[in-house]
Amino acid sequence: MIVLLCGANANAFSVTGKITNAKDGAAIPAVTVIIPHSSHHITSDENGRYTLTSVKTGHYTITFTAVGFHEEKKEIDVANDLVLDIQLNADARQLKTVEVKAGKDGSTGFTRLKDVEGTAIYAGKKSEVVVLSDVTANKATNNSRQIYAKVAGLNIWENDGAGIQLGIGGRGLNPNRVTNFNTRQNGYDMSADALGYPESYYSPATEAVDRIEIVRGAASLQYGTQFGGLVNFKINQGPEDKQFEFTTRATGGSWGFFNTFNSIGGTYKKLNYYAYYQHKSGDGWRPNSEFDVNTAYAGAAYQVNKKMTVTLNYTYMDYLAHQPGGLTDKMFAEDPGQSIRERNWFKVKWNLAAAVLDYKISDHLKFNSRFFGLAASRSALGILTYINRADPGGDRDLWTDNYRNWGNESRLLYSYNLGKNPSTLLVGMRYYEGHTQREQGLGNDGSGGAKSDFQFNNPDSLEYSKYTFPNHNLSFFAENIFRVSPKWSIVPGVRFEKIITEADGFYNTVNKDLAGNIIYSQRNDDYRKNSRAFILGGLGVNYNAQEHVQFYANFSQNYRAINFSDMRVVNPNLQVDPNLKDEKGYSADLGVRGRIKDILSYDVNLFLINYDNKIGTILRVDSASYNIYNYRTNVSQSRHLGMESFVEADVWRLIKGSGAKMSVTVFSNLSLINARYINSKDPAVEGKKVELAPDVIFKTGVAVKTGKLRVSYQFSYTSDQYTDATNAVYTSNAINGLIPSYTIMDLSAEYIINKNFSVSGTINNFMNQMYFTRRADSYPGPGIIPSDARSFYLTAQFKIGK
């Protein structure tokens, strides 16, 4: 009930009340009470009482959420002090995880994380959430350009038209297999080796993803030490209101593309379950580009009792891809759709498992523990000789990795009041142990039926190298939200890291003649061990200036250890500095975000990344053969300055009012980046642009939703970028040089026939631009990797449940 009280201040009022259980009338403590998009955020005390102060005159919706209870929303008009008593109904199913999910902000498919979610703190950080159910895009091909359209500043590598591997980088960081982000699935690591080789050969099927959470550089305190931040894929869960639901999707498209996706899910008593299987195959745009991918996932969450939930996940993926190799600049200009490599193949197998325990110790204390493990492999077979030379024939190079790693990350989240203001403390620890075995040698020539036979010719005496890479990581971290007033929050954090990396094996010094034959080989035994321990600190600040306007700022120290590829690799296009050192530095943000009613949302920020000894590539010339190659080394200090902006408005509601049934939303994001090498002793590098850091990334688009129809259009522009620290415009072997600017347009539509059937279609690159996003010095190159020409896709979906 609402009781009006008199005698209040004319400008600001209070809203107070008591929260009780609708079943027995017992007081409910630790209920989160929020007026969305405002500074008003508090938790009820041990007697279930709460007080919101300094509430200005107006119409509001107050949200009440608590673990084990259904969310309650109340609309109020504030013109005096109010008493608002609330009764919450218990949720018989409880929550499958002890967390309050970030809800969809409207239906635009894009929102941000709350200050506290589950057992994680996001206050004071720049965060973005892509809600896939509200995104009209080509999900069958994991089209990154469409899916991440509203995330400002992402530079995207397009390795293949099927979206088998994800390549995104932000703020001038290398996009290669998301290596500069900590990539996770459902909160646990999914990359090859999170410490020594953080590359993601596995990418979740977008059709199975509920949302994608992105937190920029300041996430290092909770999720590792990297400069890029966090990308977390949250896989769908079974519907809570159905015991069984079945979904099947079939997609056909250009160049023989076929995708089938099938999922089941539901809730039965205390068990929630979800599983899917996806198969996709195709011939690819260029010759020698066929692929075959299989992905499966199963997850189950069981509520043991009112306080405890246990979740199990398992993911499997395998794929085989024929790789067409790269092109020189001249070849690309003549015919970007050609291929001069027929014998290059790539194979991946992924097994990822996790067990998660969520336990509500008390109304104010939550515990989460995640055990995870990976057993995976990847193999590359083919010819890595310069692309400006013909395939010399003969045996092919074979490079295999086997990954075996496991870890645990445990967190405690404690909610308490500091004076009258709610505060939150997070403490956690992580232990990680990895073991990678890497081998390089010669495989067969691919004749007969052995085109994709990934077997060494001489497994007991490899021609190039054989290594094991054990590594261990122990870390402790803590963050605390101090809400010093209803408007101000200060979030200090600290992380301790202990890292031990080893390399044990041998490599051969190999010389070849111009035909590619080995004319000299000498074995070199190699053992290295590096142990280091350090402490990183950070600080975040939130200031709620008005009801819907928030300023945020953060600073965080960063650290990135050299990975296995930085220790030893045999590649004619690449050499590594034997004295390579870890990267150190810091990152910072300053921004403002908010909403104007439910019509316009925005987020504008400035950022800074500083590397004290950034690892990059410079061009060198072999003194014997005079061939050009990439030399990977600590180039110098680099400084990344920039601005990121996102604005989205529902122009139709602006014109017609809040009651409009149709929605026409327009979005725009712009990223300006100035990334330069500074304080370098090498005049060829000093003042040059950091590689893979375009000055401008701009995306805009419009989405129309009316009745059962959704249509979206997107425009993307990425400016010129270089591929090495010397800013070479051209090299004869095409492994370095300019990546010219490109402009791409995409169009997607979906029509919902009824509750069971829907159809959708996409035209990717509908202006048929010929462009490329990367030059490779290894697989899938070497050379220019052309992006796909115009392509068409059509999807049919059927869903049934009870």
Region 527-539: mean pLDDT is 94
Peptide bond just before 29 cis, omega within 30 deg: no
| Cβ pair 719, 754 in contact under 8 A | no
Q: What is the pLDDT of residues 377-404, one digit of tens each?
A: 999 999 988 899 888 899 999 999 999 9
Confidence class for position 688, pLDDT limits 50, 70, 90: very high
- As given in the structure block, the two tokens for residue 56 are 């200005």
Task: List the one residue out of 793, 796, 797, 795 whose CA is nearest residue 764.
Answer: 793
What is the CA angle 538-98-89, rounded to 5?
Answer: 130
The pLDDT score that the predictor gives to residue 43 is 77
Among the ranges given (38-42, 157-161, 610-614, 748-752), the one the predictor scored with the smallest mean pLDDT: 38-42
CATH class of 2-88: mainly beta
Question: Which of these ranges, 114-118, 286-290, 404-408, has the smallest mean pLDDT?
Answer: 114-118
Poorest-confidence range of 212-216, 242-246, 426-430, 598-602? 598-602
Q: Select from 255, 437, 445 the least CA-distant residue to 344.
A: 445
pLDDT of residue 95 exceeding 50: no
DSSP secondary structure letters along 455-493: -BSSTTS-SSEEEEEEEEEEEEEEEEEEE-SSSEEEEEE
Q: How far, CA to CA in Å, does 730 sit from each of 83, 739, 755?
A: 72, 10, 55
Q: Render pLDDT for 325-371 as a digit per residue (tens, 0 to 9).
A: 999 999 999 999 999 999 999 999 999 999 999 999 998 999 999 99
Which sign does the torsion angle of CA 54, 57, 58, 59 carry? positive
pLDDT band at 38 (very low <50, low <70, confident <90, very high): low
pLDDT of 462-496, one tens digit each? 999 999 999 999 999 999 999 988 889 999 999 99
415 vs 362: CA distance, rounded Å: 10
At residue 220, does pLDDT exceed 80?
no
Q: Which helix (H) or strand (E) holds 247?
A: strand 245-253
What DSSP letter does each residue of 420-435 carry, written as one string?
A: TEEEEEEEEEEEEEEE
Neighbouring-strand partners of residue 408: 371, 431
Q: Answer yes or no: are the C-beta atoms of 640 and 202 closer than 8 Å.
A: no
On whether the CB atoms of residues 602 and 594 are closer than 8 A, the answer is: yes
Per-residue confidence (pLDDT) for residue 91, from 0 to 100: 60
Kindly state the tokens that stand for 73. Answer: 């929303």
The pLDDT assigned to 625 comes to 66
Question: What residue has token string 């077997």?
Answer: 455
Of residues 45 and 299, more confidence is placed in 299
Omega cis (within 30) before 782: yes
pLDDT in tens, 715-730: 999 999 999 999 999 9
Residues 6+ apart with CB under 8 A from 230: 181, 182, 184, 213, 214, 215, 219, 222, 223
Sorted by sequence, the CB contacts under 8 Å of residue 418 that are 6+ apart come out as 482, 483, 484
Q: Name the amino acid, one letter, at 300.
A: A
With 80 as the cut, is the pLDDT of residue 547 above it? Answer: no
Architecture of the domain spanning 233-303+325-801: Beta Barrel (2.40)
Q: Backbone phi, then psi, for 239, in 5-degree steps?
A: -60, 140
The answer to whether 262 and 251 have CB atoms below 8 angstroms apart is no
The residue that leads in pLDDT, 96 or 527, is 527
**pLDDT, mean of residues 775-792:** 94
Q: Are strands 12-21 and 81-84 parallel, antiparallel or unpaired?
A: parallel
d(CA 316, CA 302): 22
Give me the pLDDT at residue 514, please: 61
Q: Output the CA–CA distances (angstroms, integers) from residue 146 to 109, 154, 645, in the order listed.
A: 12, 12, 17
Alpha carbon distances (Å) from 722 to 297, 489, 617, 730, 731: 39, 41, 11, 10, 12
Asked if residue 214 has pLDDT above 80, the reply is: yes
Quote the pLDDT of residue 290.
Answer: 96
Q: What angle do CA 27, 33, 35 make, to 5 degrees?
A: 150
Structure tokens at 422: 């709610």
The pLDDT of residue 218? 79
The stretch 397-412 carries a mean pLDDT of: 97
Cα-based distances in Å from 744 to 17, 146, 786, 791: 54, 11, 14, 12
The pLDDT assigned to 94 comes to 36
Q: What pLDDT, on a 0 to 100 scale, did the predictor assign at position 404?
A: 97
Average pLDDT in the 548-564 region?
Answer: 91
Work out the pLDDT band at 499, boundaries 50, 70, 90: very high
Based on the number of CB atoms within 10 Å of its own CB, is 16 exposed (0-12), middle (13-18) or buried (19 or more)? middle
Structural domain boundaries in the chain: 2-88, 110-232, 233-303+325-801
236 with 205: CB under 8 angstroms?
Answer: no
Question: Which pLDDT does position 509 carry in this prediction?
Answer: 80
Looking up tokens 């091909």 gives 141
CA–CA distance, 354 with 225 (Å, rounded to integer)? 22
Predicted confidence at residue 718, as pLDDT, reads 98
The pLDDT of residue 39? 61
Lowest mean pLDDT among 49-58, 253-262, 300-309: 49-58
Report the share of the chain in percent with pLDDT over 70.
94
Closest listed residue to residue 700, CA positions, set 62, 24, 256, 145: 145
* Helix, coil or strand: residue 487: coil
Give the residue-averaged pLDDT of 165-177. 94
* 763 pLDDT higher than 70: yes
- Residue recorded with tokens 């990121």: 644
Inform me whether the pLDDT recorded for 639 exceeds 50.
Answer: yes
Report the percentage of the chain scoring pLDDT > 90: 69
Bin 783: left if φ > 0, else alpha if -120 < ψ < 50, else beta. left
Which residues contact residue 770 at a Cβ distance below 8 angstroms, ignoring those fewer than 6 apart?
332, 336, 786, 789
Gap between the Cα atoms of 15 and 22, Å rounded = 21
pLDDT band at 184 (very low <50, low <70, confident <90, very high): very high
Fold of 110-232: Ferric Hydroxamate Uptake Protein; Chain A, domain 1 (2.170.130)
pLDDT band at 13; cut points 50, 70, 90: confident
Residue whose pair of structure tokens reads 């902000």 in the numeric block: 105
Answer for the pair 317, 350: CB distance below 8 angstroms, yes or no.
Answer: yes
For residue 522, the model assigns a pLDDT of: 84
| Bridge partners for 304 per DSSP | none
Q: Is the model's pTM score more than 0.85?
A: yes
| Euclidean distance between CA atoms 331 and 388, whole angstroms | 9
Residue 60: which pLDDT band, with cuts at 50, 70 and 90? confident
pLDDT confidence of residue 502: 92
